[in-house]
Amino acid sequence: MTQAQRSRSDDINFRQRRYLLMMGIRAVCFVIAVVMFVNHLGWLVVIPAVGAIFIPYFAVVLANGGREPGNTRGFMEYQPNLPATRDPVGPSSENGHRPTRPGGSDN
C-alpha cells in the first residue's frame, strides 16, 4: 500500500460522482415526499422531505472540500523556544537567606 495521493483528476472525478449520487438520493426523497403528501400520509411526509432539504447542503460541502492536506503527521503541539529559568528552591547563599530581586524587598 502506498501513501501517494490520488491524482487531481481522480480526486475531482470522485467528488463529482459522490455529489451526483447524493443529489440522486435527494431527488428520490423529493419524489417520495410528494407521493406521500398526495396520498395524505400525514407527518410521515416529513422524513423524506427533511432528506430532500438537507442533503444538498452536505453534497455541496463534500464536493467543494478539495484535496486532503498532505501533512499526515497529525497534530503537533506548540513548544515555545523560551530561555531556561532558575527557580531558587532553597538557600543558595552562605548566610542562609534567599537572594533578593533587584528593586524588591525581602520583608
Amino acid letter at 107?
A: N
**pLDDT digits over 57-98, tens only?**
999 998 888 666 555 566 777 788 888 777 666 555 555 555
Alpha carbon distance 88, 107 (integer Å): 17
- Residue 16 within a domain: yes
98: Cβ contacts below 8 Å, ≥ 6 apart = 88, 91, 92, 106
- Residue 95 within a domain: no
- Residue 53 within a domain: yes
- Residue 103 within a domain: no
Kindly calculate the radius of gyration of the chain based on its CA atoms and give it in whole angstroms: 32
**48 burial level (CB within 10 Å; 0-12, 13-18, 19+):** buried
- Residue 23 within a domain: yes
Domain count, the chain: 1
**pLDDT digits over 1-11, tens only?**
566 777 888 88
Task: Supply the range of the domain harboring residue 13.
Answer: 8-63
For helices 8-38 and 46-63, the axis angle rounded to 10 degrees is: 170
- Residue 38 within a domain: yes
Predicted pLDDT of residue 74: 65
Specify the pTM. 0.58
- Residue 85 within a domain: no
- Residue 26 within a domain: yes
